[in-house]
Amino acid sequence: MTEPTEFLIENASLVLPDRVIESGWVAVADGKIAEIGEGAAPERGIDFHGDTLVPGLVELHTDHLEAHFAPRPHVRWHALSSVMAYDAQIAAAGITTVFDSLRAGSDADSASIGTDLALLAAAIEEARATGHLRVEHKTHLRCEIACDDVLEHVEAYAAKYPVHMMSLMDHTPGQRQFKDLETWRRYYMRKKPMTDAEANSFIANRLELHANNAGPNRLRLVEIAAETGAVLASHDDATAAHAAEAVGNGVGLAEFPTTMEAALALNEAGIRVMMGGPNVVRGGSHSGNVAAEELARAGVLDILSSDYVPASLLMSAFELPRRIPGIDLAAAIRTVTLTPAQATGLADRGAIETGLRADLVRVHVSGAASESPTPIVRQVWREGRRVS
């Protein structure tokens, strides 16, 4: 890159890990944060006119690549073009480190892109190799443990590319997210209408796959995570027993627990709890499970993820302090920066701190005095280089 990576930001509100400096400045050199100061800057720089500076966001679970790659049920868009469009949208959402959530294991549901994993992986690799990615991309393999071919997919992927995170999912009707079969019916019928008879045979098929595969696949996937050094995540924990199983599997974080009971047990066991940003912004879960806000109020929400809407990551972090008295802006921003970085062993980023990567986001809060202020991303730097 030929652009200068030495610059100064002034007249900004700085969100540090533990407090906010109302008016301050940051100097960047060699892609890192070189100096931080309060009040007037020592020289002129990029004048923020009071806008807020937050660390580049760290996103652990977004399936948004699928929205670009499979924009219609039976359409598959050009893989590299999808990756570039997705990357641009992620950067524009203020995210500078993204764990691309790729599904492993074919779903009987035809909308699944499971079998395209290899194609997407190759496209991401091509984009990385040509140096055109704005954001740093890591891999999160979402492993559907009841599938026949999940191990095949994961082993083939791991033989070729690094794996940074793996989540163990079980969307069998009657389990976890769909503990209640009626919830499963309502959710799936909306996604893909079917007759009662079709639904019954679909359910019977899923239960059989679960009985045959879930146990042995879980064990092997836990081993693969250890072999590859991937951080392991549990998914949709619904009970204290699920939390205990997560502990036994050595998971580092828990994605989207569906009940307060599970979240409290996970927290008690020292496992970080991650919830969806859309759940915070919309004021509840789209599939009828516990609200992220309730967990935040109980002090057991550690990480937010944009899930299916990239822009929700920053929006949800700005929403938390407005709704929950015990959470200030610094604490809210930690849920989308420092804590996800720590949970995945990324010690060089996630905070406005001297010596860390200059992954930085300029945020303007639109309608700050109104009922519903909205954070707008204006500028984004990754390692000191402007990427959006």
> Which residues of this chain interact with Fe ion, rule CB under 5 A?
177, 236
What is the closest distance, in whole angstroms, from the C-beta atom of residue 95 to Fe ion in the complex?
Answer: 21
What is the closest distance, in whole angstroms, from the C-beta atom of residue 60 to Fe ion in the complex?
Answer: 14
Nearer to Fe ion, 101 or 177 (CB): 177
Nearer to Fe ion, 66 or 236 (CB): 236
What is the closest distance, in whole angstroms, from the C-beta atom of residue 288 to Fe ion in the complex?
Answer: 12
Nearer to Fe ion, 43 or 182 (CB): 182
Report how far apart the first and last C-alpha atoms of the chain are (Å, whole number). 15
Helix orientation angle between 240-249 and 260-268, rounded to the nearest 10 degrees:
40
The DSSP symbol for 39 reads S
Distance CA 4, CA 16 (A): 25
Q: Are 205 and 108 in contact (CB under 8 A)?
A: yes
Nearer to Fe ion, 63 or 149 (CB): 63
What is the closest distance, in whole angstroms, from the C-beta atom of residue 230 to Fe ion in the complex?
Answer: 19
Whose CA is closest to 76, among 86, 88, 68, 84? 68
Q: Which phi-psi region, left, alpha or beta, contains residue 194 (left: φ > 0; alpha: ψ -120 to 50)?
A: beta
Beta bridge partners, 142, equal 103, 167
Distance CA 313, CA 306 (A): 5
Nearer to Fe ion, 23 or 239 (CB): 239
Nearer to Fe ion, 51 or 237 (CB): 237
Nearer to Fe ion, 262 or 332 (CB): 262
DSSP codes of every residue in 225-257: HHHHTPEEEEES--SHHHHHHHHHHT-SEEE--
Q: Which phi-psi region, left, alpha or beta, contains residue 249 (left: φ > 0; alpha: ψ -120 to 50)?
A: alpha
What is the closest distance, in whole angstroms, from the C-beta atom of residue 42 to Fe ion in the complex?
Answer: 50
What is the closest distance, in whole angstroms, from the C-beta atom of residue 277 to Fe ion in the complex?
Answer: 15
What is the closest distance, in whole angstroms, from the C-beta atom of residue 206 to Fe ion in the complex?
Answer: 14
φ and ψ at residue 378, rounded to 5 degrees: -105, -40
